[in-house]
Structure 1
Amino acid sequence: MVPPSLLTEMRGAAMSLTAAASGLVVFLLSVSVVQGQDEWGVAYTSTEVCAVKGSTVEIRCSYTYPSTWNGSVNTVEKTFWSKQKDGEPVDLTTVSEYAGRVENLCENNICTLRIRNLRESDSAVYWFRLETNRAGGKYSGSPGVTLSVKDLSVQVERKYSNSANLKCQSSCDLPDNDYVWYKNGGNALSGTSSLQVDFNYLDSYSCALKGYEDSLSPSVCVTGRDSNTLTYTEGSICAPKGSSVDISCTYSSNECITSKFWFSPERRHQGQNPSQPEDLSKNSQDAGRVQITDTERGRSTLRISDLRDSDSAQYLFKFKTPSFEWRSDLPGTTLTVTALQVQVIRTTYRQYNTYAELKCHSSCSPAGVSYVWFKNGEKFTTTSISSYKGRIQLTDTISCALEGHEAFSSPIVYAPRIPFLSKPSAEIKEGSSVTLTCSSDANPAATYTWYKRNQNAHFSYFNEGPRLVFRSIQSSDSGQYLCKAENKLGSSTSENISIYVKYAPKPPSVSVRPSAEIEEGSSVTLTCSSDANPAANYTWYKENGNRNVPPLSEGPRLVLSSIQSSDSGQYYCRAENKLGSIRSESISIDVKYSPKLPVTLTCGSDANPAANYTWYKEDEDSPKASGQIFNIIGFRAEHNGSYSCGAQNELGRSNSTFHLSVGTGSSTMTVNIIRTTLGVLILIPVFLLSLWMRKKKALRSTTEAPEPEDIELDSVPEYENDSDTAAQTEDTEEQGDMV
């Protein structure tokens, strides 16, 4: 239990605290409460406290504890205030949100919690706790103290015809004096909780407790108006680029306006919430260019300096009151920033001179302005109207500006400069897609026309547009091209550009010289030609019935300097470059020659059943002929060599080999034969035999032992009767000829 003397002390302290309430803004709502158990106890001066936001409050209590605990001396080691009773209470002096604002003052078992600069978040239940040196010696007093932090407000109690009565109040009990009143944010007036004022357009009032002037109540307005209004001075404004513009409005409300600002829905920045208009004065991108002024109450002016094209937009004013917000869907003031542009109305050409009519055009036309014209960057005339007529050169640049705003002239206009042509840097192959591009610096923008050099070395119209596209270019597209850039002020022509299309050889053509009848021993030239880029290489071939024909020679011409009958046949050439190859059609060569002297070889063998015969020449895999008779027509040196005749039936095979050679002199030819084991008959025309015999006698007169041995045909039994032998050969079923 709390001793009577302690109760008397606490009552006295409570009376003292109540007397100081007007200074500390602390209000005690109940009597002291003592809670204790086994001589542990905490007595709060009050269990409920109401204080004004921004003020200072003191919450006080006294405590008792047993001097001994479990047979040992019990002493207090720590006392503190907490917002938490259960668990491990936290000392408020260690909580960051109370840093510098909380004190715990204890003396003679009386402790006071002092909180300065009260916030609404300080509203809570506060507990006192003591801890002793003995285990389990901890105690928190119940039920704690409930603190309520309230704000001040100004209420209009009564309205008269020309005045109103205001009252500064709170949900806490406040004293009736020691208040401070503020009019329109200034003019501090001391007084009581009530204040009588006269009506004045948009006057605002707020109040505070004396000594806590930083904790003002929200302002209220005292006005005789019954509605909210907003009027823009102008619905639209046209201003030159680079100049400054003022956009103004007037506004009023039957309540106190709590906020106001200018904004533009069309100039919303990336990431900005569309439902939250941005105050233009707080936009960092427009820093230094945007200024808002209120030269008189109820009027606001938005000034934008150094106007840009992007400033063209609609501008709106917005204000708020405690119960009203001006809607932003109503139209504001539309600003159009004038962007000048020189328009070419018409041009006339007279004797190498160009006369032009130009106009200084803008999206809107400010009234009462003059126009300044510039040629090649130099001012040359000023006109009161927006048009100009005069002579210009192809190299001139023209611009205009509003007088007084010469630094913000229009873009220059000029005739096209010499166009630049571009083509693919890689090799151009037939069938590929190729684009030629023509570009020229010009204002107004140039139009382009393409020309190609024709067979008369003149350039003729080919196509239009800045790009010339060959989707599948052909060899016929090779040539020289140029483009012409043109606008209303003149034209300019590019340099020539050459296009070389690479392509595989076209089908070759073959020609023969002489084109008349070809006689043996004459000179004949075959020529192959093909259209190709790069130029083709040529290879000549003669058909022989085989798939793999060996080449005869290389080069565009095949020369047969002394053509022989054996050169007769089908010839063709192949044209080739790195892009491909193709062969020509075959051309037939027919060599005319005088009658040839044939050599007939006959092979005979006694066999039953009758033998089959096959003729071979040394070093050749394929047989030369089959049958008993083998004719060699037009016997020449190339026919020299060893021959064999094979006789075969189903019972066996027998071969006979001999060597045949031919020699020529100035007027004779000899045929020499080495003896063979198998009978071979050689039939030679009579006059050839006579020539051969003369040659034989001539050889005998110059040598004693001829090699190889000459055979006299009349000494060979099988050949004694040529006519009979010839008759026999006519009955032979199979014959072979060698040409």
Structure 2
Amino acid sequence: MEAAEVSVDGLIYKLMCNGSQRIHEQMIRGEHQKLHHRDLPAVHPGVTKLSMTPKKKKCEGAIQPWGVNYDPSQVCVLEGSTVKLGCIFKYPCEKPTIIVEKKFWFTEINNIVDLRDNPDYRDRVEWNPPDYDGYRNCTLTIRRLRRTDSATYKFRFETNKDGGKYTGEPGVDLKVTGLTVVMSPVVTEGQKVILTCDTSCNLPEHTTFTWHQNGKALPQSENQHPNRLVLNTVGRQDAGIYTCYVKNQNFSAPERTLTVQYAPDAPSVSVSPDEIKENSSVTLTCRGDAYPAIQTYTWFKENGNQSLGSETENLVFDHIQSFDSGKYFCTVANKLGSNKSDSILIDVKYAPTNTSLLVSPSDEIKEGDSVTLNCRSDANPPANFTWYKDNQTLPWELRKSYTFTSIRSEDSGTYRCRSENEYGHSYSANLSIAVQYAPRVPSVSGKLEDSWRLTLTCSSDAHPSVDNYTWFKENEDSPRASGRTFTITDFRINQIGNYYCQAQNRRGAKNSTYQLIVVAGEMCLFTYAHTLPVQTRNYP
């Protein structure tokens, strides 16, 4: 266990320490003077006991005078930053012991009022530094500096001795200033432009700056001067609001606006209305980007050498005619130069006429064929097309043709089309489409009469209609009957089996099945839910 005496807050304390030799040497060398007695156990874990009984402080050497020393005595800092005003105060070492009862900072502006009690400084000032033996640290820290913080700051302490009140004169002169962007506010495209981030303070030699344009940080060049932004060839994209920051600080210069002058770009010509109908009023407008603004406009029609007389941005046709169709352009100029637009085509429009509907192929249409409908119309601008079947609108695209890749019987009907643009519409004549197809799988129904007579009926859908119905028994080559109906009156065991009918037109034939069963002298009638098998023949 080792011991050392430490002076903390003006008192001498005895420390008991079981720490390393290094800790003991720190206490002997006086490094403890940087500690508060509450911090010692945290900084030196080896400290096990702190005697709180103060020992008398020795007064050695010459008597110290009263005084406050500031270092430096003049400070210039940037708005928003943090500053430390260095300060040491002292007083005589004599008996009876002088005790400091009150110590604080104040400014000439607010008279002798502790800054910590001033609402303008509250939560922004801090000073509670450790004391040195005989010389006491009174350094003041001010955060988030404002322009209004510029003042002369003084430290004052008051003791228990009569007349023992002392104010350090002349104090510390603090100047809080900001950054300023120095530049030419108006420049011409192509020039070299230099923006300087300036301040009245002498900042450290290696202070670096960042630049922002329209709120976005600009990349830094390796060769960039610390406080300058150089635009070697300024362009209109460089126009905007600029500000500068001291790197890693959150305060900036007031924003400045850079305006870039340039000759007109190639202008554009627009037309109103978008679509032009004969005898309507039409306005052509010439628009160009330039700074200063465009001063003169001139209009031309291609293949003509004379200007059209208008010297404004608009060229107006009160009642446009077909012979006014053609290509037009304009030229624009300001004091820095001139430019010419591309040409715009003026084309007179009209409503659709002569609408007709064509079908391909135009002869007989069979189920499965590829069939195309074409709607033709003369219109300007080109028409959109609406399709109808049996007077019902079809959900087809607004295009002039539609193709059935494999047409079906349900596609049969009466078709027509409508052509339309913004100036009017026109309908085609009706066109009938009849899709031909072979008979569908026949259905068979049976009716038992008087317990001994069974009549079977065969039905099938087809276009053209079914020409022939024929009745067969399975595994027999010869037909049993022809016609839509087939009657059985003699029930014998050899009549049990599969019966089917065949429906036929000139597009093909299909078969159906039926089963008749005689059990124990009684007749039972069953039909299959499916065909066994369905035979199909299609004809070209």
TM-score under structure 2 length normalisation: 0.33
> By percentage of residues, which structure has more helix?
1
TM-score under structure 1 length normalisation: 0.24
The structure whose Rg is larger is: 1
State the structure with bigger RCO (CA 8 A, min sep 6), 1 or 2: 2
